[in-house]
Structure 1
Amino acid sequence: MTPKCEYYPICPFFTDSLVSGMPSTAKLLKEKYCCDGYSKCARYQVMVEAGEQYIEDSLFPNHEEKAQAIIARVKSEKGS
């Protein structure tokens, strides 16, 4: 498994600190989002669009709707 996402070294999801209790699920999500489709990763989207400080620990790569809500909220707060 070779990550393509530039943020994987600092991502708590990739480093297992968020998913230590579910290795099978984590492996599948890492393969899908960290290695192949990182631009579709909810954590990546929030990082790029809003900033690292807005990434919630409960945000998993497949939580796209939650990511879009966070991004919309941040943009609204900033007046963008």
Structure 2
Amino acid sequence: MHELTNETQGARYSPTSIRATWDGTGSVKDASRALGFSRAKGYDLVRRGEFPCRVLRIGRSTRVVTASLLRVLESGEPEYSGGHTGHCTS
């Protein structure tokens, strides 16, 4: 039974499923699960500017850019949000 749950959850966070069900942004929690780590680890990486894909702060909300997440999942290469020279910090 436990294996079925992990298999189902893994399919939920596959690139195909993300493309079909997510809007332009997703939650840090869901993006973290798609990348294979916990929500707490995801928010820690966001705080340090090391989350592996683009992150937007909208008011008090933090959202992960879906297109960036998909590129990271498919390539295995991070797109650190704090690592781009053109990143707006205002």
Q: TM-score normalized by structure 1? A: 0.31
Instruction: Determine which structure has the larger helix proportion and give its number.
Output: 1
Instruction: Determine which structure has the larger strand proportion and give its number.
Output: 2
Q: TM-score normalized by structure 2? A: 0.29
Structure with bigger gyration radius:
2
